[in-house]
Structure 1
Amino acid sequence: MAITAEALPEVTATIADRIFDQLRQAIVEGEIPPGSKISEPVLAARFGISRGPLREAMRRLESSSLVERKPNVGARVITLTSEQLLEIYVIREALEGMAARLAAEHMSDAAIADLKRLLAQHRNDVAQEEWQAYFQKEGDLDFHFRIVQGSGNRRLANILCNDLYHLARMYRCQFGMKSDRARDALKEHELVVDAIAERDGELAEWLMRRHIRASRKATERRLAAMRPSDT
């Protein structure tokens, strides 16, 4: 069946969406390492697509702060500094705290029950890793993603899920999955959900902020341990 002129923009958008998702996953998971130069001709040949949808996908990656374009250099995957990572934690503490409070007001009983089932699965997964790893899959299988979506605030969800979320996941992958906070983090998640189930928005916000603050402090310790000694 021939593609009409009217349908062409929609087809191009669909291709751009697919390429954007694939490139974002490759960047977040480290398949395309930080600092890597992005060659549009190479990617166009790799995916077997024209430059139009690829450029749209690249534009969206730039908007998501995963790719940066510099004059006379071209496009490269971002290389985040430790300071930028900690800034993300500070922003997440405020915004995800707000999301937890709103989730206590707006999440349905069915959605909360489903979230509890998700955490039960997380507990089983972490136990199998001997409480040394707590890495959540993307999207609906991620606790924080669910809370943000449950807030019912689309603008807040857009900020957290289309920008900060993938930057944070990128760092999780780069640091590896091992963590001395796996058991504590899971317990903190369960406390947040309990507060949401009780419709106590103030407590849910406080618990979420405390949880993210604890994660930030743990990250600060790991960053300090990675720095070379002056002696």
Structure 2
Amino acid sequence: MPLEADSRLRYRLIHDQLKSAIALGNIAPGLVLLEGPVARIFGTSRVPVRKAFEMLHAGGFLHTFEGRGYLVAHPDGSMPQPLRMPIAEDTLGFDRPLEPLDIPSNSERIYDSLEATISLGIAFGHFRIDESHAAEAFGVSRGTVREALNRLRDRGLVEKSAYSHWLCGPLTARAVREDYELRALLEPAALRASAPSLTRAQLDSALRDIERAIDAPDSVDAAALHKLETTLHDTFLAGASNRKLLATISHAHMPLIVNHAFYDAFHLHPEMGTLTEHRGIIAALLRGDIDSASDALAKHLQQGEMRTRQRLKVLAVLPDPDLPGYMQRIA
């Protein structure tokens, strides 16, 4: 399917389903809709969700407001008070989980592969990414590759030189330290702001996931660990209303992305310390002790920095991974 048809069909499906649910009154007026949670429910990226939101806003079904995201409009057109709560299928008026929209665009098809390759590569050195070679390797246009790389630039994984070359790496101990210092300052504050919006069911579910991982850590692969990390460092913080705060935190998540690539490439399992620290944070939130949860998150990030820097030392003595030809090492 051509890229244009892919993208149009995806955002149109999201738009139509949300529009119907709002029109039927199945979604509470004032509910705050954010791109990330809605994208996870539909099994898609944020790009088509953003387009669907824009269309719904233009049609009067959503309102903008001073906070992050959009408000679901009241049937009479008045501006309701913001209603912040975790987003699930039933919150959006759907009585059963939605099937993922299995119609990825060309850019989305190559994004995960590019992210994994670049994340692994930067732990081993400094690279230039050749657009033409990448387009040939993936069987897509250079514009498609450029679109994916622009998304990766937003995440801090690649940069563009003064000569318009795409560059990535190296991931240094200093870069890791600076990212973790930033996260240690901002994530506890975001958790304090977001904690009141977390539900008991949401916290209980997260605790069950962690307990299962602690009971059988060898069963936790890179994907499962990444889901646990995303729950703590993304979902649990998403209720904070300061969008600039959350954007800054997201840009400092490069070590988290690289750790995922590291675990995936070498088929590793999480350290017990990582899992027990997660459990301590969730347990404090379940007790309603936000101060302790925030302090525990700060300590978890300090330990995470130490673990990540130790992994960099391990990587220094390992042979380079087998990277595709579009990753060209810079001496």
TM tier, smaller: 0.7 to 0.9
Q: Deviation per CA, 1:2-23, whole angstroms, max 9, x where unpaired?
A: x798x58748x73223322321
Structure 2 distance, partners of 1:195, 1:78, is 37
Answer yes or no: is 1:153 the counterpart of 2:266: no
Q: Deviation per CA, 1:173-211, whole angstroms, max 9, x where unpaired?
A: 4597879x9233322211110111112211111111122
- Which one has more relative contact order, counting CA pairs under 8 Å at least 6 apart? 1
Structure 2 distance, partners of 1:53, 1:10, is 16
Q: What residue number does 1:186 align with? A: 275
Q: What residue number does 1:165 align with? A: 253
Within 5 A, what are the aligned runs for 1:60-75? 60-72=151-163, 74-75=165-166
Answer yes or no: is 1:137 the counterpart of 2:223: yes
Structure 1 distance, partners of 2:315, 2:130, is 32
Within 5 A, what are the aligned runs for 1:23-172? 23-30=114-121, 34-72=125-163, 74-126=165-217, 128=218, 136-137=222-223, 141-151=227-237, 152-153=239-240, 155=243, 156-161=245-250, 163-171=251-259
Q: CA distance change for structure 1 residues 183 and 54 in 2, over 3 Å: closer, same or farther?
A: closer
Q: CA distance change for structure 1 residues 225 and 4 in 2, over 3 Å: closer, same or farther?
A: closer
Unaligned 5+ residue runs, structure 2?
A: 10-46, 48-104, 318-331
Q: Deviation per CA, 1:25-64, whole angstroms, max 9, x where unpaired?
A: 2222449964232111111111111122221112222222
Q: Deviation per CA, 1:74-98, whole angstroms, max 9, x where unpaired?
A: 2222212211110111111122212
Q: CA distance change for structure 1 residues 223 and 65 in 2, over 3 Å: closer, same or farther?
A: closer
Structure 2 distance, partners of 1:212, 1:18, is 32
Structural RMSD (CA)? 3.9
Structure number with greater Rg is 2
Checking the alignment, whether the CA contact within 8 Å between 1:66 and 1:167 is kept in structure 2 is: no
Structure 2 distance, partners of 1:157, 1:25, is 23
Structure 2 distance, partners of 1:153, 1:31, is 31
Equivalent pairs: percent with the same residue? 22
Letter in structure 2 aligned against 1:165: H
Q: CA distance change for structure 1 residues 40 and 218 in 2, over 3 Å: closer, same or farther?
A: closer
**SS at structure 2 position matched to 1:208:** helix
In the TM superposition, residue 73 of structure 1 has moved relative to its aligned partner by 7.8
Structure 1 distance, partners of 2:188, 2:276, is 17
Q: Looking at secondary structure, tell me which structure has more helix per residue.
A: 1
Checking the alignment, whether the CA contact within 8 Å between 1:103 and 1:147 is kept in structure 2 is: no
Q: CA distance change for structure 1 residues 103 and 174 in 2, over 3 Å: closer, same or farther?
A: same
Checking the alignment, whether the CA contact within 8 Å between 1:93 and 1:212 is kept in structure 2 is: yes
Letter in structure 1 aligned against 2:168: V
Checking the alignment, whether the CA contact within 8 Å between 1:97 and 1:205 is kept in structure 2 is: yes
Structure 2 distance, partners of 1:184, 1:84, is 23
Letter in structure 1 aligned against 2:129: I
Aligned residues: 219
**SS at structure 2 position matched to 1:76:** strand
Letter in structure 2 aligned against 1:101: R
Q: What residue number does 2:287 align with? A: 198
Letter in structure 2 aligned against 1:205: S
Structure 1 distance, partners of 2:313, 2:159, is 27
**SS at structure 1 position matched to 2:159:** strand
- The match for 2:303 among 205, 214, 223 is 214
